[in-house]
Amino acid sequence: MKDNRVAKHKTNNFGELFWKAVSLTPGKETIAQGDNSLTFKELDDRSNKVANLVKSLGIEKDDKVILLMTNDYRFVEILFGVIRTGAVATPVNIKLGPDTLSYIANHSDAKVIFTDLEMKDKAVEMSKSSDQIKDLFVAGQRMNDENSLSYDISVSGMHSEYDTVQVEPDDPAMMMYTSGSTGKPKGCLLSHENKWWQARSNSRSLLHVEEDRGLIVGPLYHANALWGHLLPMLYCGGYSAILPEFSAGPVVEAIDTYKPTFMSGTPSMYSLMLAEEDLLSVNDVTSIDVLMCGSAPVPEELMERMQRTFGCEVVETYGLTEAGANVLSPRWGVKKLGSCGLPVTDVEIKIMDKETGSRHCEVNEIGELWSRSPANMIGYYKQPDVTAEKVTEDGYIKTGDLVSSDEQGYIYFRGRKDDMINCGGENVYPKEVETIILEHPSVADVCVVSTTHQVKGEAPVAWVVLKSGTQLSERELKGFFFDNGPAYAHPRKVFFTEELPVNGANKIDRLLLTEMTKDNIPQGLVGGRD
């Protein structure tokens, strides 16, 4: 059943998310970054200019447009401008390596890339890898060159009026690429209805009002900042200051400067901020009413420090790209330590036997979380078989995450069904890391497992077998990985061994290697090149 309570624009187009604020408070500031700021009317006008630019390129409904951008305020106007045309906005993780970016360029069938000066070189190589990409626009570039066009010059000549394209609720509005166990990302298609509901749901669940002021510290291409912060703030008519990147010290100072009432982040971010004791002693951080925390559970000690330092509520949330934020610790009623909360309104969940998925789990029994809501994805782009494996016939998404519930229905995250490593909010799959390490000419075999990390929560560790007669240091192998793979996925520790243990099925014994890692690093990792 469709959720008809979401206040949507007459076109159904999610690109009109902030249409009410444009009508009611056009002169109110909503986006700020450094010396740049936009009112709702200015954001609306600039989004329309982007839409006219996209239209002039011959982009049609359902065409894909890539955003490969750092935290630039122009990301916001480009995102909504693209969606207003009926095209599918596709934000891409800027930390991905060249091979993965090339794969996305080709798999997505994208025709245009929007980027900025910092990401220009990556974007140029990305565009060259695909015959379908015809145009590349660079925000901040003063003039056109042989490989790219100036975004600012191009958009300045466009009209600020645009007739937003009428769409059906189930038409795609966005595509977000998620990591896969094979190393090949999957394009997750999200509908206009999906995004309308999620913006409304997050705004109401967090009790946002138009007077709220947010501070965006995470990457805008990531769901935590994009869906957990930007969209609900725009929906409620609030304000968001955007920092170029997360750095603990500058974030503490920015809280004192911008006086936000709300911030969204991960446990690792908050842990690093709390380590800035000198800055915390001279900067006022008490303006915050709510800290939202996702991507990983919050340890008890960290929760207590957050509440004590900021003097605010801490709201834990659980979600995934394919199904949105579907579990949230309530701002009303009982909070339970260790729990990520209760299912969000209109979200149906069930906990199924993790082995067969054929039986509902009992209270306190660990099983796989299945979720059904208006936030569920359309499916994976050009991967119907993978979609069928992920989504049940009655519309539940199999999350792959292991949870339990208590008598009151509170959900407790217990781990992952597969071997995914959540490293500071980034999804790292051992197979992806292993594939890159095996490309080194001195490596004969490798197995990657997870270990605890005092900042990141968990991190990958590699057990490596070298080819006979070769030599390789940990530093050299890490350097090779940085040159060939995403930095966030690099192994934080490398152990060299004569052979990898196998189990009774003659497969590498990952469980034993995990226990061996714990024996070698009993206190967990901390520091290093992260």
Q: pLDDT tens digits for 165-196? A: 999 999 999 999 986 544 588 999 999 999 99
Confidence (pLDDT) at 183:
58
d(CA 484, CA 46): 38
Q: Which of 10, 21, 375 is nearest to 165 (CA)?
A: 10
- Decide: residue 393, CB within 10 A, 0-12 exposed, 13-18 middle, 19+ buried: exposed
Rounded to the nearest 5 degrees, what angle is found at the Cα of 323, between the Cα atoms of 318 and 324?
Answer: 55
d(CA 332, CA 353): 31
pLDDT exceeds 90 at position 502: no
Give residue for tokens 């570039």.
141
**Of the given ranges (148-162, 269-283, 497-511), which has the lowest mean pLDDT?**
497-511
d(CA 336, CA 411): 10
Confidence (pLDDT) at 4:
42
The SS3 assignment for 368 reads strand
Confidence (pLDDT) at 335:
86
What is the residue-averaged pLDDT of the chain? 91
Running DSSP on this structure, what letter comes out for residue 439?
T
Instruction: Give me the sign of the Cα torsion angle 56, 62, 63, 65.
Output: positive
Write the pLDDT tens digit of every residue in 357-367.
999 999 999 89
d(CA 423, CA 65): 28
Confidence (pLDDT) at 419:
73
pLDDT exceeds 60 at position 506: no
pLDDT exceeds 50 at position 2: no
CA end-to-end distance (rounded Å), the chain: 45
Write the pLDDT tens digit of every residue in 463-496.
998 988 999 999 999 999 999 989 999 999 999 9
Confidence (pLDDT) at 427:
74
| Average confidence (pLDDT) over 101-112 | 97
Q: How many CB atoms lie under 10 A from the CB of residue 364?
A: 10
Q: Which of 512, 209, 200 is nearest to 375 (CA)?
A: 200
pLDDT band at 511 (very low <50, low <70, confident <90, very high): confident
pLDDT exceeds 60 at position 507: no
Rounded to the nearest 5 degrees, what angle is found at the Cα of 308, between the Cα atoms of 304 and 314?
Answer: 65
pTM for the whole structure: 0.81
Pick the CATH number of 9-201 from 3.40.50.980, 3.90.850.10, 3.90.550.10, 3.90.45.10: 3.40.50.980
Confidence (pLDDT) at 362:
96
Tokens of 264: 């969204």
Measured in residues, the chain has a length of 530
Confidence (pLDDT) at 425:
83
Which fold, 421-520?
GMP Synthetase; Chain A, domain 3 (3.30.300)
Write the pLDDT tens digit of every residue in 12-41.
999 999 999 999 999 999 999 999 999 999
Confidence (pLDDT) at 265:
87
| Average confidence (pLDDT) over 231-248 | 95
d(CA 530, CA 444): 26
Task: Domain ranges for the chain, please list them.
Answer: 9-201, 421-520
Q: Phi and psi (nearest 5°) for 43?
A: -65, -40
Write the pLDDT tens digit of every residue in 281-313.
999 999 999 999 887 667 677 888 899 999 999
The SS3 assignment for 216 reads strand
Cβ–Cβ under 8 Å, residues 390 and 376: no
Rounded to the nearest 5 degrees, what angle is found at the Cα of 255, between the Cα atoms of 249 and 261?
Answer: 145
pLDDT exceeds 50 at position 524: yes
